[in-house]
Structures are given as structure tokens and as C-alpha cells.
Chains A and B, each alone.
Chain A
């Protein structure tokens, strides 16, 4: 299955890759989308920067998966 970025509609094979793309881009529209889903972009970013593992990416990946049906 392909996963699309809810903001710019770019496509990847895994939702985790879309999450990384959202963090990597980090512009206003991508930040705003994360916020609109009820998460704090800054909190997730800081969590990712300061703790091992991929918890923040996984959180966003789940949001991406949920959003696919609406795209």
C-alpha cells in the first residue's frame, strides 16, 4: 500500500516514511497539519531529539495512516 502525505500528497511505501518527510520538511503547512490532528509538533520534535527510538515518528505515522481514507 502507498501512503500519501496529507499536506503535499507526495507518496511513500510506508507511513513512517511519510512521518519522516513531515518532520524533515517542517514548514508551516506540515506543522499545522500535525497540530490540527491534536498533537504538538514542537513536543514531538523535542521528544524525537532527546529520547532514543522513534516514538514521535510512530505517532505521526499513525496519524498519516488514519488520514489516508480522507485523501
Chain B
């Protein structure tokens, strides 16, 4: 360890100890325990109402007509036959809209390129063309067949390398060579770095797309009243984003739109942009003044939403013989599909996280996102980082093996540490990578010798705890919370965060209970309703625990300060005494037996305020926290894999997850999040494949699109690496998204160690293993022959 590294780590540790000292004095009673989800009973008993379940009086059912062509001009749409069908109430097309192009990058008009229900042309198979509202779903479905669309079919282009060629069709007018956006990151002297290296390696990789596969498909119910108020029940990751984006495309005020997303059946990065369901139901209800519901079928969810961004990666890495990293250069060309969406952010983040979790003296990244006539690609759990780690962690493993180095120790030698600054990008205040490496090493050692064709692979990664980027250009704070204390001691917490099944409402209830000194069952959480909850950017980029958590903590501190003023007055204390509340007991810190019940204090305070309830407010917006995130989590994923050499079939036998999430808020929540992330990420590594033919997805169903099943899941023991993150509420940071990043690469590394083959395309499918083994055998034979010849 260098002197600088030691000094930086010591400074960061000192800062942590100071904070920990303050925390140690303050005994935690709720936080860092096992708490069941507060909405668990409602969910398992079916009481929880998702958008999918919403029914309103007089409600109609909608269906969307989709383009069968990857690229075509819309010459005419004739809906007269559909309108004549009994039960059909309306048909809408692009001509019924304001024709506004929308996108989530509101700061940059050129990136707002998607018109849901386009007027001029379609750019991918499955793009909405028209929508029907009818008395029943069956009638709406039948009406779709009666809509006649006259297309002029245009040549399409489906691969980014082809789309950049001079003679390729133009997908968006005015966009030269179909290049959507480029992103560049650089620090240090890359050329000199490579000159210093003893070993330089270059590899080309490809990472495929992945479907978000939310249990609840896209669904919306919209209702417009003659008073000009639009209410939307919608399955999304950010009610506030939906409200603002809908206001933009409908030309009405944000405040006249209420978006409700109380229960959401998964998001994974695919539900914070507008979709056909929300837009078409709104257009239809504004025409009919009757509620309209659209629920996507599973096939529609596959072909007409968005997907993880497929990426072509070129990586060049230079290291010294002793394993010291010198320089890295990476270049990415991503398949953007038809529209920008969140793809521009994924393009930046893949480049940023490709450097993680290591100290690179010199680093350069160039990313190019290219439009094609395929399903748009966007953010998905990991936000570009799983692709980055697939390439980085495998190449490093191969290089360590070539140099005869211990790959874990090579990672440790170059790993991030508390106090490190990623040049111009990020400051690392807490880092549990070192301990995660140690836990992984211990686990591997305990496994002993493994049978033939079986091996352990592992991979490291790091991830953000809340994205800073304000692409949305909002004037509101990133997260805010309002807490109300009732006279009986119960507490109502309003947050703008979205509970998408990840347990954020439970997390906020725990933080509120801990801060106020009450129990979790005292807290009622309201979230995901723009009329009643403060604005919050929502559930993406692992931001809720840190950002909404800080807002919640601050709101509760505000309320606690107010209510303790009444306790001071009632108890007639000397001013030097500190008061606190724990387990509903308001007491002097130095003499805990002296105090009063919380409920009694709440009554006194309410009376003292002339009947007004105490209300606390809190908000959080990161400032001076670098380009990307206020904090970073670190993790190691190890996987034991067995491969059938005849068929190429992969079996996951066992695994270990070592995750640094700062202070865990809720152990049960943490376990659930990490298991879920493992399952999704392992699926990306060897199962979930999206083959396209001329722009058409060939497996849009759960029979042909393979996901990991319960019987295929190995044991997933977790080694919690507890650090203290100064920027997080009670020292907490993300858990659940970051672990999506290392897993595919860990599987790739296990295959390498089991069979000696290097897999460069993800997901790894059986035929690829068989082919690689065949090539290896031929290569080995040739080498033997050459040796004999000598």
C-alpha cells in the first residue's frame, strides 16, 4: 500500500470514527434489525391494488395497434370499419395528439425524439400506431384488425455497425450516420501509461440485451373529467416524472394531472419513461371523458417497451508484471434502437463503471450510441455496468492468469479505498472492497478441491447510491418528505418515492421510526401519489435509500426537534440536559429512567399548538458530490459452476455474495434485494437472450425467453460487509442494483477456470461453449503437433 493511499484511508477512517462515535452514543433500536415488509400482508392476501387491478365506474378497455414494419412511412390510417364495430367508442392516432416529441432528457431537445403514436413514420416493429377504446377488451382487440394502415415500407437497419455506414437508411432525419449520442471520459496520460506496461491485452466483447421482465406488465388507467383534471393509475418508477412528462405531451399543467403508483410490480429501470399504455389511455379518456384502461400482454411487454442496451466493447488494458494497473482504454458502440430514452445515460455510466472498482492512473473511454430499427434500449438494473463488468472482470482474470498472479490479490492491490478520488468524477468516502475480497477468498478456500468441469468464478464491482445527473431539469429537490405526528403518537409519512417491490416504504418506515424513537408499526407510509406526496425523482439509480432516506431522516429530525421543545417545557429541565426518544419513551439522555411516554408528549404538543399537528419537512439534493453519485457501494460475487462438456449446459451449484452496503437498514430487505439481483444478473450471464431477425424479436414469450427458475437458483449466502457511509442516512448506501453488475462476469470466469475457454459474448449459450471447446481442442492439437515437429 502506498503512503498516499494509507494517508487517505486513515483520513477517511478518522472521519468515519468521529461519526461512528456519535452514532455509538445513540443506540439503534429499529435500524439494522430484521423487519418484514410493511405492505407484505396486503400483497400476499391480494388486498394490494396494482394499476393492473384498478377498476373505475364506466371504465372502457383499450388496445394498441402496433407496427408490423421495422421502418415505414405512415401514408394513411382508416379507422372507419373499427369505429363501426358495436362496442367501439373511439380510435385515436397520432393526428389526435399534439405531435410533441418527448424524452426524459428534457435539458437537450435533440434527445427528445420519441412521439408515442407517431404521425409520419414508424421506426421499430411493435411501435404504437393507433389505439382503440371499447366496452370490453375482446371488442377492442377485434377492432384492431379492422384498422387499415397504408404504409410505405422503408429499408431498415438493425445493427449499429451497419447503421453507421454511409449508405445506411436514415432513421431520424438530420442525424448523420444514425449516431445518436457520444460520451467521453478521460483522465491521466493514457499513452504513457501503456508505455509503462509490461503486458498489454486487447479484446472485443459483445453484451446482448435483456428484457426487464417485471411481474406486472405495463398498465395504466386514465380518467379525465370535464373540469380538466386527469387522474392516472400507472405502473411506474416515478410518479413525478410521469406527471411532468404527460403535462409536456398533453399541453396541460402538471398540477392538473394526478399520477398514482401505489403498488408497482417491478420496474428494474424500464418504467420511468412514458409508455404506450399511459399515453394512449390519456388521449382516449380526454376524448371520451370516460376512464380507459390498457394492460400490456406479456408479448407487448417484450416487443414494445424497452430493453437493456446491447453493447460492442473493445478493451485495451496495460499492466505491470507485478499486477500494478497502468492504463486502460475502452470503446463502446451500443445498439440504441429507435429512440434515445435513458440510453444516453447508460452510455456514460457503462464507461464510468468500466473503470470500477479500481484505481487506474490513466483511463480513456469513448462511447457511441447508434440508432437502429429495433426496440429502443435504455436503462436496466445496473445501468450499463453489467456490460462493463462482463468485459473488464473477465479480461483482468485472463491477464492475471497469463502473468501467473493471484487474481484476487491483483484486484486488492489496485482496488478503490476510502478517501480515493476518481479523477474529476467521484469521491469514495466509504469502501468495503478489501473485506469483500477477503471473504471471497476464505469462501473459495473452504470449498477445497472441486470435481472435474466444475470451478469457481468471481468478479468485483462497485455501484452508485443515487444518481446525481439532473437530465430532467427539475426545479424541485431530488427527494423530499413530510412527516405528521398525530396526538395519539401515530405518525404519517408522505414521500414521493415509489415502492416498486424493492421495499422502499419499509426502509423509510424504519428510518422514520429510528429517528423519532417510535416503532415501525406506528408509521403509516404514503408514497407514489403526486396529489398527496412531495416531488421525488423516483426509484432509479439506487437512489431511494440514500436520497429519500436522507429526506425522511431530516423531516423526522425537524418534527422531533419541534416536539422535544414541549418535553423540555413540561419536564422543566436544566438547559444542559439532552433529551431523546427511544421505544416511545421520551427521556433525559444521561438519566434514561427520567422521562415521559411518547403518546403523552404528542397529546401535550398538539394541545400546545392549539390543535395543530406537528409537521416535519425534509429534503435532499446532492451538492459537491462529483459527477455521478454521492456514495458508492462495493461488492464481490463468486459462483460455483458445473458445465457439461458434451452439451455445453451450465449448472449454478453455489454462490457467495459479499456486499458493502454501508449500515444495513433492514437485514431481510437486504437479503431479498441481493437474491433478486443475483437471479436477474445470472440470467443475463447465461440464459436471457434476445435474438432479432430483421428487427423482429424471435422469442417474445416466457417459453422461449429463458429466465432462471427457482429450481436453477443455487444457494445464495450473503457476507455483509458493513461500512459507514458519511453521506447516507445512518451510514447506509445502496443494495440490490449494484449486485447485478459482477454476476455475469463471475459466471464467465467460472467457465474459464473450469474449461480454459474465454467467452466474449454474453449471454453464454450452450452451443457457444461446445464451439469454443472444439476450437480449443484444435488449437491444442496444432500446438502439440508443432512441438513434436520441433
Contact = CB atoms under 8 A, between A and B. Distances in A.
A42 B179 contact: yes
B331 A49 contact: yes
Given A46-B164, A46-B177, A50-B161, A26 B182 contact: yes
Contacts of B202: 52
Contacts of A49: 164, 179, 331, 333, 366, 368
Nearest to B332: A49
Interface centre among A24, A42, A46 (most CB of B within 10 A): A46
Contacts of A43: 166
A24 B182 contact: yes
B186 interface: yes
Contact of B184 (A23, A41, A46, A52): A23
B161 A42 contact: no
Interface residues of A, number: 13
12 contacts: A23-B366, A26-B182, A45-B177, A45-B182, A45-B368, A46-B165, A46-B179, A50-B161, A50-B164, A50-B333, A52-B314, A52-B316
Contacts of B182: 23-24, 26, 45
Nearest to A46: B164
Contact of B366 (A41, A42, A46, A48): A48
Given A45-B177, A49-B366, A50-B164, 18 more contacts: A20-B184, A20-B186, A23-B184, A23-B366, A24-B182, A26-B182, A45-B179, A45-B182, A45-B368, A46-B165, A46-B177, A49-B164, A49-B331, A49-B333, A49-B368, A50-B161, A50-B333, A52-B202
A20 to B, nearest CB: 6
Interface string B154-185: 00000001001110000000001101001010
Interface of A: 20, 23-24, 26, 41-43, 45-46, 48-50, 52
Indicate the size class of the contact surface on chain B: 10 to 19
A57 to B, nearest CB: 9
Q: Is the interface of B mostly helix, strand, loop or mixed?
A: strand
A26 B184 CA distance: 11
Nearest to A16: B191
Contacts of A50: 161, 164, 333
B235 to A, nearest CB: 36
B318 to A, nearest CB: 14
Contacts of B186: 20
A25 to B, nearest CB: 9
Nearest to B184: A24
Interface string B474-509: 000000000000000000000000000000000000
Interface string B299-318: 00000000000000010100
Contacts of A24: 182, 184
Contacts of B161: 50
A26 B175 CA distance: 12
Contacts of B314: 52
A23 B364 CA distance: 14
Contacts of A45: 177, 179, 182, 368
Interface in B306-339: 314, 316, 331, 333
A31 to B, nearest CB: 9
B451 to A, nearest CB: 41
